[in-house]
């Protein structure tokens, strides 16, 4: 889902970020309550600065949860699993390639840097959550898991869709 950006959206994102947003191409995800949650950003900002993060998390509830997960060691655990789970690593590599292809279709930066650490490690859950919310479940397996953790932590139905799979469902674990 991608909505054209309006001045009202830019004002809302500015309030969320505490600064004027830069290079916003579209609202890539709206929270169930209608607030912008993720913006799609140009590969180069208006001043020409490269900005490899195509999907940028803006909703404060989501950014706080991404930071909480990072502090709790979720990135480290995910990176370890990439080295031991070939299916997960293949899905994450596919997400990386898809992300780059979408960004490069707008403008190539001549780099394979995505901002999220893809494809060998997990560097930033903010980017992975933004990517998964913008694209929906099934594109970025680790982003999906991080969104599920956020949903399970109390954001389901407010900042995360009510029907987002649970962490247990995504991991294929019995309940």
Q: Is the pLDDT of residue 72 over 80?
A: yes
Query: How high is the pLDDT of residue 175?
Result: 45
Decide if 172 is inside a domain: no
Please report whether residue 57 resides in a domain: yes
Mean pLDDT of 43-65: 94
DSSP string, 45-82: -TTS-B---SEEE--HHHHHHHHHHHHTTHHHHHHHHH
174, pLDDT greater than 50:
no
Which candidate, 41, 32, 54, places its Cα nearest to that of 127? 54
Asked if the structure places residue 169 within a domain, the reply is: no
| Structural domain includes residue 171 | no
* Domain assignment of residue 165, yes or no: no
Residues spanned by the domain of 39: 3-158
pLDDT at 141 over 90: yes
Distance CA 156, CA 61 (A): 11
Count up the domains in the chain and report the number: 1
Question: Is the pLDDT assigned to residue 48 strictly greater than 80?
Answer: yes
Across residues 141-157, what is the average pLDDT?
A: 96
Q: Quick check: 168 pLDDT over 60? A: yes
> What percent of the chain lies above the pLDDT cut of 70?
97
pLDDT score of 52: 87
- Establish if 138 belongs to a structural domain: yes
One-character DSSP codes across the chain:
--EEP-HHHHHHHHHHHTS---SEEEEEEE-TTS-EEEEEE-SB-TTS-B---SEEE--HHHHHHHHHHHHTTHHHHHHHHHTT-HHHHHHHHHHHHHHHHHHHHH---S----SS-TTTS---HHHHHHHHHHH-TTS-HHHHHHHHHHIIIIIBTTTB-TTPPPHHHHHT---
Q: What is the mean pLDDT of the chain?
A: 92
pLDDT in tens, 81-122: 999 999 999 999 999 999 999 999 999 988 888 877 778 889
In a domain, 75, yes or no: yes
Beta bridge partners of 57: 38
Domain membership flag for residue 109: yes
Burial of residue 88 (number of CB atoms within 10 Å: 0-12, 13-18, 19+): middle
Q: Which pLDDT belongs to residue 172?
A: 79
Cβ atoms of 107 and 43 within 8 Å: the answer is: yes
């Amino acid at each position: 889902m991608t909505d054209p950006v309006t001045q009202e959206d830019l004002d809302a994102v500015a309030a969320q970020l505490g600064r004027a947003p830069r290079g916003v191409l579209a609202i890539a995800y709206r929270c169930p309550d209608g607030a912008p949650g993720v913006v799609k950003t140009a590969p180069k900002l208006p001043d020409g600065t490269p900005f490899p993060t195509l999907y940028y998390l803006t909703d404060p509830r989501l950014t706080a949860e991404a930071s909480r997960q990072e502090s709790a060691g979720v990135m480290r655990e995910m990176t370890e699993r990439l080295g031991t789970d070939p299916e997960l690593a293949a899905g994450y590599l596919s997400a990386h390639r898809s992300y780059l292809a979408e960004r490069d279709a707008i403008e190539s930066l001549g780099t394979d840097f995505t901002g999220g650490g893809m494809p060998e490690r997990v560097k930033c859950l903010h980017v992975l959550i933004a990517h998964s919310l913008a694209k929906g479940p099934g594109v970025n397996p680790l982003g999906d898991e991080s969104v599920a953790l956020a949903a399970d932590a109390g954001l389901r139905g407010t900042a995360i869709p009510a029907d987002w799979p649970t962490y247990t469902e995504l991991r294929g674990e019995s309940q």
